[in-house]
Chains A and B, each alone.
Chain A
Amino acid sequence: MPAPLLVPAAIGVLFLALPLVGLLVRTPWSQLATQLAAPGVGQALRLSLVSATLATLLSLLLGVPLAWVLARSRTRGRTVLRALVTVPLVLPPVVGGVALFLVLGRQGIVGSWLDDAFGITIPFTTTAVVIAETFVAMPFLVISVEGALRAADARFEDVAATLGAGRWTTFRRVTLPLVAPGIAAGAVLCWARALGEFGATITFAGNFPGTTQTMPLAVYLALQRDPDAAIVLSVLLLAVSLATLLLLRDRWLGRGGAA
């Protein structure tokens, strides 16, 4: 292999791996148990897992149909629609948080109506955490599923139609199973992104232990007063992310890749 490619590639690997190694090297392994047992850690972890999972479910519910529309419809508005979907990908999450606040905040366009009509306040609640994470993470799912839908052989849908399947039946019984590996991959990406979400969450949902303080927020706060605690929390988050990735890879992605 030529050196001009090999050397930068090796540096790239180091660049990606070294921080993780550093994290593990500096981890106070002897205090690990006590640190993890500290009040608030379990709470933050549970909140992170629950809200990231809820955000992923919400993204699946809205994102898969959206991806289908993007992949299959032939309307002219599709380009605009795709651009719209992609915006949260490139938008700084803090800006997303501000935007959400302006719409769903108590003075916001939708938020004031929700408050007046139903007495519902969204900001600074766990609901706000889920919404902020969905806003940031759903595009990952949409892009991934749209790609899978485009790559899937559309002739299978023709076959289903000639066998008496309407469009909804075709989608349920043929299209969805065909792109299942793509959906699983998208959901993992989406979940991981939601788990790590920081900017939009702290802006829109705030930082209240127990209701809106997710792991990334807890890590950031801990770093200011107790660096060792921050490291422990980081290692925990890293372990959870890696474990999920490996688990889903064997369950879904591995099989999809082999087929």
Chain B
Amino acid sequence: MSLHASIAVRRGTLDLELDVEVADGEVLAVLGPNGAGKSTLLRVLAGLLPPDAGSVVVDGATWDGDGTSLPPHSRSLGMVFQDALLFPHLSVADNVAFGLRTRGAGRAPARAVAADWLARVGLEGLGDRRPRELSGGQAQRAALARALVGEPALLLLDEPLSALDARTRLAVRAELRRHLAEFRGSTVLVTHDPVDAMALADRVVVVEDGRVVQAGPPQEIARRPRTDYVARLVGLALLPGTGRGTRVHLDDGGAVAVAEEASGPVFAAIRPESVALYVARPEGSPRNVWRATIAGATPHGATVRCDLTGEVPLVADVTATAFAELGLAVGAEVWATVKASEVAVYSR
């Protein structure tokens, strides 16, 4: 089971050109901002939208391309949408059994399989309920069972967690992770939340303006982002520059000292927790010391994330206690230091 898709879609302002490959049992996350064309990709893979050009091949069978386009109901796939979209007029069990019934299973066998799946997603005994009697998390679990019940070759997840509240999201994410590990087909997960991508995917492609701008394992994307969008998502300060020895001269002025020698066009990426803030110029000799102004401060649990402007734009995480003890505030002048060994450098 595998997916090979190479598609082009042009609709109004959207200009989408994507190549994606997903192996057996692999989970590919498509990460990108709203309007990047992620959901359009899923609609094409599902057969709900014919591509203007290109092909979709699953398990060696052509779904799109060569002048043919298989209708959605003839494709072996399951899809989970942002809202669970359980059919309101059917019981939860009949919702899960729907895909089996349309493919010719009898009522009793379909219900038995559905009951089994409901138990697997932790909804044992809720089969007779109406969808509106379920909580958001329960409904999304039922939707997952409904998509997986036919053992499809391809599973499409369209922002499956983004309609859930923070706590439910955590629980459903963990459960989704378990089911994806068991799933033998290919999975394409569309999301704009890097945490979903990191937690669920084996591989990530970042899509911006209809094009893949970066692809790789989740840790790689998180450690070495290539665009401002990804850097902001994962909370890094991304500084493009030119490496000369153990210094990177930034395109926007200033320089960063790094631990390893670098040459040519590179990115220097600095994590917020690597940045230390001082009210007075620190003693000793950290290699990177910059004067900065706090342009913004947002609390994040026990830490405060500070956006810094100055010679080098940075993001710093300070504990809430330190923030208060140092008397920091928006507009305050500070000194920011970063150890050279804490700066990640990679070629552009």
Contacts and interface: CB of A to CB of B under 8 A. Distances in A.
Interface of A: 153, 155-156, 158-166, 169-170, 173-174, 177-178, 180, 259
Interface in B74-130: 74-75, 77-79, 81, 83, 85, 87-90, 98-99, 102-103
B231 to A, nearest CB: 34
Contact of B103 (A155, A160, A164): A164
Given A163-B73, A169-B102, 16 more contacts: A158-B72, A159-B85, A160-B87, A161-B47, A161-B48, A162-B77, A162-B147, A163-B147, A163-B150, A164-B103, A165-B73, A173-B98, A178-B87, A178-B88, A259-B88, A259-B132
B38 interface: no
B73 A156 contact: no
Contacts, number: 68
B264 interface: no
Contacts of B7: none
B85 A162 contact: no
Interface in B58-73: 71-73
Interface string B194-219: 00000000000000000000000000
A159 B79 contact: yes
Nearest to A165: B102
Contacts of A163: 73, 78, 98-99, 102, 146-147, 150
Contacts of A156: 85, 87
13 contacts: A155-B83, A160-B87, A160-B98, A161-B72, A162-B73, A163-B146, A164-B99, A165-B98, A166-B102, A177-B87, A177-B89, A178-B88, A259-B88
B256 to A, nearest CB: 48
A186 to B, nearest CB: 18
A interface SS class: helix
A175 to B, nearest CB: 10
B73 A166 contact: yes
A155 B85 contact: yes
Contacts of A165: 73, 98, 102
A232 B250 CA distance: 95
B257 interface: no
Nearest to A164: B102
A162 B89 contact: no
Contacts of B71: 161, 166
